[in-house]
Amino acid sequence: MQFGIFTVGDVTPDPTNGRAPSEHERIKAMVTLALKAEEVGLDVFATGEHHNPPFVPSSPTTMLGYIAARTERLILSTATTLITTNDPVKIAEDYAMLQHLADGRVDLMLGRGNTGPVYPWFGQDIRNGLSLAVENYALLHELWRTDVVDWEGRFRTPLQGFTATPRPLDGVPPFVWHGSIRTPEIAEQAAYYGDGFFANNIFWPKEHFIRLISLYRERYAHYGHGTAEQAYVGLGGQVFMRKNSQDAVREFRPYFDQAPVYGNGPSLEEFTEQTPLTVGSPQEVIDKTLIFREHFGDYQRQLFLMDHAGLPLKTVLEQLDLLGEEVIPVLRREFAANRPADVPDGPTHEFLVARAAADAASANAASANAAAANAAAADAAADTASVTASVTG
Amino acid sequence: MHPYRLVVVTAGLSQPSSTRLLADRLAEATRLAVEHPVELRVIELRDLATDVAKNMVTGFPSPTLADALDAVTRSDALIAVSPIFTASYSGLFKSFFDVLDNTALTGKPVLIAATGGTARHSLALEHALRPLFTYLRATVAPTAVYASSEDWASNGDTGLSRRVTRAAGELADLLLRRPAPAAVHDQQDRVVPFAEQLAAVRPA
């Protein structure tokens, strides 16, 4: 099981003093958080992609390439990469390049983006959002797996004899998660390809996501990639901790009350009751996160949102210390207990390389069998022919 | 047979309110006109006002509001009554239907009604409430009932009583003629097989 953090990269004034970081400070802070994530023993850092203020991360592979050079183990990912407004050719190239530089420590989460005005800035139309996600991913999938591609679709110029370079590291494309908060078609898409499905459940009640994840698992099995329990599920989480639960609530409340997305709405108490948000002691975070498994089954990746709503960098770094020291070790132990042996771990490049080798070996074995069967059939046919010849002769 | 599920949504704010009074008369008249067992549920939007506002902010309903939205979605017929504020339905009334799933009322028989201080605003039913429910693909009864102050002052066989009876009869007819309730909710999770999704984007 993999644990990590994901960040939106918002520039939000700290509601307790009105101070907002500059874009430069925020970008550097995101890098600091990624380095800290590795230091405290997390597995994944994922950045959002946005093309409008108040968000800074418009160029994820630039940022992740820089982080790759300064880390050793951390898997670098996105939350999310816009499969609708980015050219799939450019995604294929950028992330393959990043994959080489990071020695395989790269995967990505695809999403559509829900901000209407962004689409025309990139020559698209939000009304085609779902169709763009379907077509662009079909092309991206092929570009990473076929060396020379002839292709024609609705949304971009055709390709004749095109090779995306560099080719994926070790011939194995980065693992892809399809992110969605409400769209069954995306769960279906993830299942069809045998890719991962990331349900960003942090702002809504669980019932909705239980339906979506069950659908994905069921369809994953339907398409023959494994059992429903073996499908790759990722979940979000949102926490604020202090040793003492009351201190956490007191400190986080002003950030909660004015947070983008849900601020000026329900109370902190209502929201923590109805969504995955946990504000309290590390033990409370552990207890709440462990419940996810009961709702959604054994899963592969848990990403926490730690740094939004104007929380100062210093505070977020303290949060990561608590997460790494007190929460994650317990979660690793507890999630490993009673986990069926055939449920896969979070996907890594090494795992994908081994899986591809195993698939190739079984394909070779199958074709050898088929060749043997063909040879036997040919012999039989020859026998029949000679019998026929002898009868007529 | 199961009783028909009749739900009343009323957006009156005072207690007691003339909006609730009108809603109750419409519900009772509908019950009489249906001549089958009717299970009635009245939803007072005043009780849900903060939940509706929170839903607009967060995008999901509280358990209490979810229960009310579910009752409306599963009903066999709906009576929707709003006070007329500032020449139209009240903001709370509109907000409730804004947070309701936009397929929840498809094909559902709906009776619309309103109250106001003066009869001058009675056409708000026709230029505000009726288009709202038409947009939601409900089957709206032809008679919409408006009650102003003078309607409550008159006695006996007033125009209001006749309109209530006529509207309730129309709603009952729509309800009884309606085929077995469509499983609107179950269709939400219907999955479009991926081969169809791919085929839809392939150039012809």
Q: Positive or negative, the Cα torsion across A337, A339, A340, A346?
A: negative
Chain-centroid distance of CA A283 in Å reads 26
Give the C-alpha separation, B183 to B191, whole Å: 15
Name the residue in chain A with its Cα closest to that of B59.
A204
Question: CB B201 to CB A219 under 8 A?
Answer: no
How many domains does the structure of chain B reveal?
A: 1
CA geometry: angle A359, A192, B190, nearest 5 deg? 155
Instruction: Supply the mean pLDDT for chain B.
Output: 92
Give the C-alpha separation, A133 to A224, whole Å: 23
A60 Cβ contact list (under 8 Å, min separation 6)? A47, A48, A49, A78, A81
Give the C-alpha separation, B93 to A238, whole Å: 34
pLDDT exceeds cutoff 50 at B150: yes
Instruction: Supply the mean pLDDT for chain A.
Output: 94
pLDDT exceeds cutoff 80 at B188: no
Residues on chain B touching A261 (C-beta within 8 angstroms):
58
Give the confidence band of A225 by pLDDT, cuts at 50, 70, 90: very high
pLDDT exceeds cutoff 90 at B69: yes
Percent of chain A with pLDDT over 70: 96
Give the C-alpha separation, A109 to A92, whole Å: 13
Q: What's the Cα-to-Cα distance from A156 to each of A10, A118, B61, B173, B201, rounded to whole Å?
A: 31, 17, 40, 54, 12
Domain that holds residue A362: 349-392
Q: Are residues A260 and A377 in the same domain?
A: no
Residues on chain B touching A189 (C-beta within 8 angstroms):
194, 197
Percent of chain A with pLDDT over 90: 86
DSSP characters over A52-100 = STTB--S-HHHHHHHHHHT-SSPEEEES-EETTTS-HHHHHHHHHHHHH
Averaged pLDDT for residues A276-295: 96
A230 Cβ contact list (under 8 Å, min separation 6)? A220, A342, A343, A344
> Cβ distance B167 to B80 under 8 Å?
no
Sequence-ordered strand ranges (E) for B23-166: 38-44, 77-85, 88-89, 109-116, 139-140, 145-148
Question: CB B58 to CB A185 under 8 A?
Answer: no
pLDDT exceeds cutoff 50 at A364: yes
Q: Are residues A140 and A226 in the same domain?
A: yes
The ipTM of this complex is: 0.78
Residue showing tokens 């939803």? B43
B146 Cβ contact list (under 8 Å, min separation 6)? B113, B114, B115, B116, B119, B121, B122, B125, B163
Give counts: helices (H), strands (E), chain B. 9, 7
pLDDT exceeds cutoff 90 at B189: no
Q: Are residues A324 and A253 in the same domain?
A: yes
| pLDDT for position A354 | 97
| pLDDT for position A393 | 35
pLDDT exceeds cutoff 60 at B185: no
Q: Are residues A356 and A259 in the same domain?
A: no
Which of B54, B190, B198 shows the shortest C-beta gap to A265?
B54
Q: Are residues A228 and A357 in the same domain?
A: no
> Cβ distance A144 to A89 under 8 Å?
no
Q: Are residues A337 and A356 in the same domain?
A: no
Query: For residue A10, what is the DSSP state?
Result: B
Phi, psi of A42 (to 5 degrees): -80, 165
Nearest CA-CA distance, residue A70 and chain B, Å: 38
DSSP characters over A101-113 = HTTT-BEEEEE--
Q: Are residues A194 and A341 in the same domain?
A: yes
Total Cβ atoms within 10 A of residue B160: 18
| pLDDT for position A380 | 64
| pLDDT for position B126 | 98
Q: What's the Cα-to-Cα distance from B132 to each of B77, B123, B128, B172, rounded to whole Å?
A: 16, 14, 6, 21
> Which of B190, B197, B198, B202 should be substituted to probe chain A, the one whose Cβ sees the most A Cβ atoms within 10 Å?
B197
Summarised one tens digit per residue, pLDDT across range A91-100 is 999 999 999 9
Which of B57, B192, B200 shows the shortest C-beta gap to A265?
B57
Residues on chain B touching A264 (C-beta within 8 angstroms):
57
Domain that holds residue B113: 4-200
Q: Are residues A295 and A359 in the same domain?
A: no
Query: For residue B42, what is the DSSP state?
Result: E
Which residues does B contribute to its contact with A (CB < 8 Å)?
53-54, 57-60, 62-63, 189-194, 197-198, 200-203
Phi, psi of A146 (to 5 degrees): -120, 130
Averaged pLDDT for residues A157-161: 97
Question: CB A274 to CB B63 under 8 A?
Answer: yes
| pLDDT for position B183 | 47
> Cβ distance B125 to B113 under 8 Å?
yes
Summarised one tens digit per residue, pLDDT across range A129-157 is 999 999 999 999 999 999 999 999 999 99
Averaged pLDDT for residues A211-231: 97
Give the confidence band of A296 by pLDDT, cuts at 50, 70, 90: very high
Give the confidence band of B106 by pLDDT, cuts at 50, 70, 90: very high
A56 Cβ contact list (under 8 Å, min separation 6)? A9, A11, A23, A26, A27, A30, A50
| pLDDT for position B53 | 96
Q: Which amino acid is at A365?
A: A
Report the predicted TM-score, pTM, of the whole model to 2 decimal places.
0.88
Q: What is the CATH number of the domain that holds A38?
A: 3.20.20.30
Q: Are residues A327 and A363 in the same domain?
A: no
| pLDDT for position A367 | 84
Averaged pLDDT for residues A313-318: 98
Q: Which amino acid is at A275?
A: T
DSSP characters over A225-268 = SS-GGGS-EEEEEEEEE-SSHHHHHHHHHHHHHT-TTTTTSS-H
Question: CB A205 to CB B60 under 8 A?
Answer: yes
> Cβ distance A183 to A196 under 8 Å?
no
Q: Are residues A313 and A381 in the same domain?
A: no
Beta-bridged to residue A305, according to DSSP, are A238
Q: Which of A173, A133, A119, A123 is nearest to B198 (CA)?
A: A133
How many domains does the structure of chain A reveal?
A: 2
Which of B53, B59, B201 shows the shortest C-beta gap to A203?
B59
Nearest CA-CA distance, residue B183 and chain A, Å: 17
Which of B53, B58, B192 shows the shortest C-beta gap to A185?
B192
Question: CB B201 to CB A131 under 8 A?
Answer: yes
Question: CB B203 to CB A192 under 8 A?
Answer: no
Q: Are residues A238 and A343 in the same domain?
A: yes
Q: Are residues A274 and A380 in the same domain?
A: no
B22 Cβ contact list (under 8 Å, min separation 6)? B81, B113, B115, B145, B147, B164
pLDDT exceeds cutoff 50 at B124: yes
Percent of chain B with pLDDT over 90: 78
pLDDT exceeds cutoff 90 at B191: no
Query: For residue B8, what is the DSSP state?
Result: E
> Which of A211, A270, A272 should be substituted to probe chain B, the one whose Cβ sees the most B Cβ atoms within 10 Å?
A270
Q: What is the CATH number of the domain that holds B196?
A: 3.40.50.360
Question: CB B201 to CB A154 under 8 A?
Answer: yes
Residues in chain B: 204
Summarised one tens digit per residue, pLDDT across range A3-54 is 999 999 999 999 999 999 999 999 999 999 999 999 999 999 999 999 999 9
Question: CB A153 to CB B62 under 8 A?
Answer: no
Give the confidence band of B15 by pLDDT, cuts at 50, 70, 90: confident
